[in-house]
Each structure stands twice: as structure tokens, then as C-alpha cells.
Amino acid sequence: MASQVLTISSSHDVSLRMTVQSHGWVALEPWKWDEESGELSRTDLLGGPTTIMVTQGGPRTIDVRAEGDRNADMSAVEATVRRWLSLDWDPTDAIDAASAVDSDVADVIRQGGGRFLRGSNFYEDYLKTVCTVQINWAGTKRMAGRLVQEIGDGFVPTPVQVLDAGEAALRERASMGFRAKGIMVSTEKLLRDGLVDESGVGAEGLLTYEALMGLHGIGPYAASHLRVLLQDFSRVPVDSEITKFFRERHGIGPKEVEPFLERWGEYKFLGYRMSRRLGSG
């Protein structure tokens, strides 16, 4: 078993724990999170099966260990971890926007908050976002797990694996139900239009809100959620949870959520998410 280590630096403070806790992705396969040790890990195919384990080093560093049957390409490991933790995100504008609205939120972003845990590539985030549409969280976890186990042979499936498996396998073996057709049609379009490559890496500059809305089965919620994971916080992915929160807390309906958050400018969702966690939303 080959074991390699590296330390990744960020230009800004980053909090591994806050990033892991940013939303529910860490509960979906193949992620593992050890709350006690503060270690995030998973196994990806990087030339071969490679288990990547990350822990907080210092305020601006992440310590990484990679283990596999052979030496991994550590530049690929670093790029993967940088994407997971949004390490290349510059929070300066978000801090400025938050400072004008809620200084507590600005302070948390300065301390490394505001990042969202992401998949190893865009296609993973696409598949998992589809798994959140019109279903409860237990169903989301079940579908995400079966995609990994039944379609990806223990790993998050690539676009090619999804297309090779076919709609029936997605519907039945992965329990995707009505979502299966949309995944097939959208995966073909993503590849045909050059929005992802065969491994699932996205052409992120081309994955605009409008392009995402053009995918079969992707509506405003899913498109907005995917844009959040591309570090665009200008829209709010309004789902049942957000609808319930704003109705109970502020007495407004889903169409009024974004106007209500207008004071956050281009950081509407980030402002909502962070202020809610702090109890000031």
C-alpha cells in the first residue's frame, strides 16, 4: 500500500469543519466524516482506487494523505481536494457584502466559513442534486448510494458509465424512478454540448443558469443549487425546507424569498444560509 502526503495552502482562511457542515453532501456516498478526529475521506479513481484523507492543518492549510495500491498523481489529488473544499474561492466580495448587512456573518466568512462541500467534479454534483428533487432526505441518500454501488461499481459513476447502464438500470437498480429519463437525456446533452467531459469534469465557465435550465428535468431549484456549487450565490434554490422557514419566520411565500434577501446583493443564498445558522436570519 503506497501512502503519500501533502499540505495544501489557501490564500484565505478556510474551515474544513464548517465546509463539511455547509450542507448535506457529506452524508452521501462515498463521503466519510469522522467528527471526533475531524477527518474527511473518500475513495476515488485517480489512475487507480485512491483513498484521500484530509484534516485541518492551520487556518490556511489542509493536510492530505493519499493511499492506494500504487503512487497517486498528487497534482490530481490536490486539484480534487481544492474542488471539494472550494479552496480557490476568493471570499473578499462576500465579506464586503456581508459587512454591510450582518457583521457576524462577515466574521464567520473571514474565519473560513461560506464554502460549500462539492463533489470531485461537476457531474457528481449534478447527479446528487437530481437525487434531491421531489423526495425526502432518506430517499436522497438511498438513490445516491445506489448510484455509487450499482452504477459506478463503488465509485461515483461517470457520464459514460451512466449512459452504458441505461435508463432501465437507473430506474430499477439505482431507484431513480422518473428521474432516470432526465438523467439519460441530460447526460447526453452535457457531453454533446461540451459541458462535461467523459470523466464528469465540467466546463464550469459554460455552465450558466440558462444552460442548466436547458437540461431535461432541471428546474429553478436544481439550477440554482448547482450554481451555488459553482460559487454563484445570487439565486436561492427554494425547496420545501426554505419555503417552510420563510413562511414560519417571516410570513412570506416562495416567490417573495429572493426580493426579501435583496439586501445581500449577489450573495443572497450565502447570506440566508449563514445568518440562519447564526440564528439571525
User: For residue 177, which of 214, 134, 213, 148 has the smallest C-alpha distance?
Assistant: 134
Strands (E), 13-115: 32-34, 39-45, 49-56, 61-68
**What pLDDT does residue 70 have?**
80
**What pLDDT does residue 280 have?**
76
Banded pLDDT at 1 (limits 50, 70, 90): confident
Half-sphere CA count of 82, side-chain side, radius 13 A: 16
**What pLDDT does residue 261 have?**
97
- What is the mean predicted confidence (pLDDT) over 87-96? 97
CATH numbers and ranges of domains, the chain: 2-88 (3.30.310.20), 122-228 (1.10.340.30), 240-277 (no CATH)
Q: In what order do the strands lie in the sheet with 49-56?
A: 2-9, 61-68, 49-56, 39-45, 32-34
Contact by Cβ (8 Å): 63, 57: yes
Alpha-carbon distance 149 to 175, whole Å?
Answer: 12
**What pLDDT does residue 256 have?**
97
Q: SS3 helix, strand, coil % of the chain, rounded to 5?
A: 50, 15, 40
The DSSP code for 158 is P
**What pLDDT does residue 71 have?**
83
Tell which phi-psi region holds residue 253, choosing left (phi > 0), alpha (psi between -120 and 50) or beta. Answer: beta
User: What backbone torsions phi and psi does residue 110 show, to the nearest 5 degrees?
Assistant: -60, -35
User: What backbone torsions phi and psi does residue 13 show, to the nearest 5 degrees?
Assistant: -60, 140
Map residue 124 onto helix, strand or coil: helix
**What pLDDT does residue 27 have?**
98
pLDDT over threshold 90, residue 279: no
Identify the helix (H) or strand (E) that includes residue 185: helix 179-192
Locate cell 457583521: which residue? 103
Alpha-carbon distance 164 to 141, whole Å?
Answer: 23
User: What backbone torsions phi and psi does residue 98 show, to the nearest 5 degrees?
Assistant: -70, -35
Map residue 55 onto helix, strand or coil: strand
| Mean pLDDT computed over every residue of the chain | 96
Strands (E), the chain: 2-9, 32-34, 39-45, 49-56, 61-68
Q: What is the pTM of this model?
A: 0.96
Map residue 98 onto helix, strand or coil: helix
Locate cell 421531489: which residue? 134
Q: Residue type at 265? A: G
1, burial (CB in 10 Å: exposed 0-12, middle 13-18, buried 19+): exposed
Instruction: Work out the percent of the chain whose per-residue pLDDT is above 90.
Output: 96
